[in-house]
Structure 1
Amino acid sequence: MMKWASVLLVGTVAITGCAQTNKAGSEAQNTNTGEAKKSESKVKISFIHWRGEDKKVFEELIADFNKANPNISVEMNIFPSESYLANAQAKLLDGSSGDVFASFPGAQFETISKSNLYEDLSKESFVSNYNDNLIQAGKKDGKQFAFPYQLVYNQPIYNKAIFEKLKLQIPKSWDEFLQVCETLKSNGYVPIAFPGQDIGPGQFVNSMMMNNNTDEDIWSKVESGQAKLTDEWFVKTLSQFKELADKGYFQKDSLGTNKDIAGSLFAQEKAAMLATGSYMMSSNKQLNPNLVQGLLAPITVSADKAVFEGIHTTTFMLGVNAKSKYKEEAKKFIAFLSQKENAEKYANQTGQMVTVKGVQYNTPELKESATWMDKKTRFHPRYLISNSQNEKAVVASIQAVVGGKSPEQAAKEAQAIIDQNVKK
């Protein structure tokens, strides 16, 4: 009997030991699974844009976002603006890049929206954080696909100290603008630093044409064939570009000058105006802390016929990739950037005005830009060209006349490209 009891006891111990081993193994497995799930719950989202000059402040904002959202990390990738324009759509297509992405208004916005790559953000709570009239560029078919984050004035910057030294007033007509340029030139200054190699033609054309044709639908009419670049208003605009070039009001080799070189000429106070926009005021000040800057736009008609005083743009449009696997996390990041205190930090560290309500600006350059909110400005006309080939043709026509081609011939060649696209 005791022999059987011993066997039974040993068997019981063996079974119990086995059960304990299985339980321990099960607990270990459960622990590992829990750790795996915890690890898997930390989502990494991709944020892509083109503004390398914003890298530092975005790194700070991302760090703040990570503290508030420990289960979401943000990987930022910055691309040159030229390649970003050309390649952003391809980066978004497979959903692995650009969960949150920035885009330009106009042709790029149209291209991306036609490809159904924007997630509809119309019903998100952070919509109310924005000035409604400043986010229309990100809206299509009644839906808010993107939020323009920056408010920019795409018109020349001028050196206030030089203007005061020479007792120059802000010109209110084309004749006055030419007189200002001539005075600057005769006093040894480059009147206008013109980055003709890259952004200059596409930026300067906005204020150069704004009063030559005040119809804000003119580019849609050009692209539909209802109006042409060979019409008087555009030939006049090209003629005025040529006049500035022929009279030596741009620096030498302006078509070989990029924005960095043009900005350097202006920051060194060798040039009195810079044909870019308010977005360069901060970087100019970094190059020359003593620089005192203002904004102006050439009035290309007589003072009594001027309708618009300048050009504004709402750009750096934040959107969520419709193919993203992490849409909710991406929305949380945009919501974070849309908060007043974060938008204010972005604005004052980058020198860019923003479209978020209630932001306070604390630099002279931003305060100067803010005065333009009370002026009659027109939305960036070139961004209303929906076809990128047409846009390139317009920019090329400006480079052509600055290079010596007749305005009539340059307009004719550009119109030929647009005619091909109208037929399509």
Structure 2
Amino acid sequence: MTILLSACAGDQGGGDASGSNDDTNNSGGNAEASEDQTQISFIHWRGEDTEVFDEIIEEFESENPDIAVEMNVYPSEQYQSNAQQMLRDGSVGDVFTSFPGSQFEVIRDAGFFADLTDEEFVSNFNAEAIEIGQADGQQLAVPYQLVFNMPVYNVDMFEELGIEPPQSWDEFIEMGATLQENDIQPIAFPGGDIGPNQFMNSMMMNNAPDEDIFAKLESGEESLTNDWWVSTLEDFQTLLDEGMISEDSLGIQQDSAIASVAQEEAAMLATGSYHMASLKEQNSELNLDFLPPITVSEDEAQYEGIHTATFMLAVNENSEKQEEAKQFIEYLSQPEVASKYANETGQHLTIEDVEYTSEELQDTAYWLTDKETRFQPRFFITNSSVENAVLSSIEQVLGGDSPQDAAEQAQQVVEENIE
């Protein structure tokens, strides 16, 4: 993580994802290319980044007048489900993005990643941070964002109420009680669209500190009915029973959850760093930091938080415009372009020499060096059916099922989908 500081803190002096669930299909760049231009297609799921990407695309086209970029943005769940089909004939997604984990594996197995190993722009990225985009000795994709997939909280609210950031599970529950005594919802949990995709990672990071736990689950060595997962589901049930997550959480959409934190009706947003810019946009006075739950005692905790390298840029192997697509990725990897993207979207990046000027990025840079974080566990699940079973077991508990029953049902699905 010390190496990552040089990649992500740059010259400031001091990142499912994570991603959008926007309901619209946004487009940007040139709708049509002129006769002397080659038009390339750029597809991704970050609807909240459309404005800055429009600006970057316009600047790219000005510097590269022979290339036009058409951008299409899809809701993240739709993108995860349909990206493979869109890439199949090469007419869409000359440049595309991929989540790590199961989507990366599916697209790799389909042979849709062009090999980027020998491209000069790869050296613009931090070598350690982009390892997640490698397979079979090749660099198939280059993660652009370094995201902290853990709850964001209102620092000033805690200080005004005299709440110290909890260092154990007992302290976390006590924190929730104090907030509720002051008519504040402890956790805004957008279960209606994002679901437990992000929150599960910090909830299980110390219950299952073995970073190979999901590889062992998919190999049959581990089971969701064992203590590490049942105890995680029991912790979710505790949050529900104690009122820290509202009973209607499975129907709450991300926009509503963000608004409740921005309006200081809730103290924490159970998503990640990628929503900090949206919070600040709605309430510029917010002082934000991260507060992942420590679900064990303080002396048992091995990890303090979660990070992910995601929004993996790639070139479609089926594209007839690979050289132009690579030019666009090369442009995005230039430090000055990456700095613009980082500061306007509130994202830490994997690019070397990025200069962060936004307050929230500067204030959270210490998580890169001073905290013990682990890579998002969910992205080590390579089978999408197994991933769905894991996430569904959390939703079942939040819907009223017992942790044991939810774990048993999920394990049955796992066993049906692994060899």
SS of equivalent to 1:207: helix
Matched with 1:398 is 394
Task: Tell me the residue number matched to 2:78.
Answer: 83
Identify which range, 127-136 or 193-202, moves more after superposition. 193-202
Are residue 415 (structure 1) and residue 407 (structure 2) matched?
no
Identity of aligned residues (%): 55
Task: Pick the aligned partner of 1:376 from 347, 372, 375.
Answer: 372
The structure 2 residue matched to 1:301, chosen from 275, 283, 296, is 296
Give the CA deviation at 1:252.
Answer: 3.9
Q: How does 1:24-39 map to 2 (within 5 A)?
A: none
Aligned-residue offset at 1:341: 0.4
Could you tell me which runs of 5 or more consecutive residues in structure 2 were left unpaired when the two chains were aligned: 1-32
Matched with 1:19 is: none
Counterpart amino acid of 1:340? P
Which residue of structure 2 lines up, in the alignment, with residue 159 of structure 1? 154
2: distance between equivalents of 1:370 and 1:131?
Answer: 16
> What is the aligned partner in structure 2 of residue 14 from structure 1?
none
Instruction: Name the counterpart of 1:8.
Output: none
Selected match of 2:249 from 241, 246, 254? 254
Give the structure with higher Rg (CA).
1
Alpha-carbon RMSD: 1.2
Out of 265, 271, 282, which is 1:276 matched to?
A: 271
How much does 1:84 deviate?
0.5
Which letter does structure 2 place at the counterpart of 1:143?
Q
Q: Is the 8 A contact 2:67 2:324 kept in 1?
A: yes
Match of 1:26 in 2: none
The letter for the 1-side match of 2:295 is T
Residues paired across the two proteins, number: 386
Q: Does the residue aligned with 1:75 lie in a helix, a strand or coil?
A: strand
- Once residues 386 and 376 of structure 1 are traced to their aligned partners in structure 2, the CA distance between those partners, rounded to angstroms, is 24
Could you say which residue in structure 1 is the equivalent of 2:231? 236
Change beyond 3 A, Cα 1:39–1:270: closer
Q: Corresponding residue for 1:311?
A: 306
- Residues 26-64 of structure 1 deviation map (CA, whole Å, 9 limit, x = unaligned): xxxxxxxxxxxx975521110001111111111111111
Higher helix share: 1
**Conserved? CA contact 1:200–1:276, under 8 Å:** no
Maintained 8 Å contact 2:195/2:250: no
Shift of 1:216: 0.6
SS in 2 for 1:47: strand
**Equivalent residues in 2 for 1:60-139, closer than 5 Å:** 60-139=55-134
What is aligned with 2:51? 56
Runs of 4+ off more than 3 Å: 38-41
What one-letter code is carried by the residue in structure 2 that aligns with 1:380? Q
Rounded Cα–Cα distance in structure 1 between residues aligned with 2:211 and 2:377: 7
SS of residue matched to 1:86:
helix
Match for residue 315 of structure 2 among 293, 297, 320: 320
Alignment deviations for residues 128-151 of structure 1 (CA, whole Å, 9 cap, x no partner): 111111111111112111011011
Using the TM superposition, name which of 108-117 and 194-203 deviates more: 194-203
Tell me: higher relative CO, structure 1 or 2? Use CA pairs within 8 A at least 6 residues apart.
2
Shift of 1:156: 0.4
Question: What TM-score, normalized to structure 2?
Answer: 0.91
User: Could you tell me which of 332, 337, 347 is aligned with 1:337?
Assistant: 332
The worse-fitting range, judged by mean Cα deviation, of 44-53 and 195-204 is: 195-204
Matches of 2:380 and 2:67 in 1, distance apart? 36
1:388 aligned residue: 384
Output the amino acid matched with 2:104: F
Helix, strand or coil at the partner of 2:275:
helix
Look up the match of 2:25: none
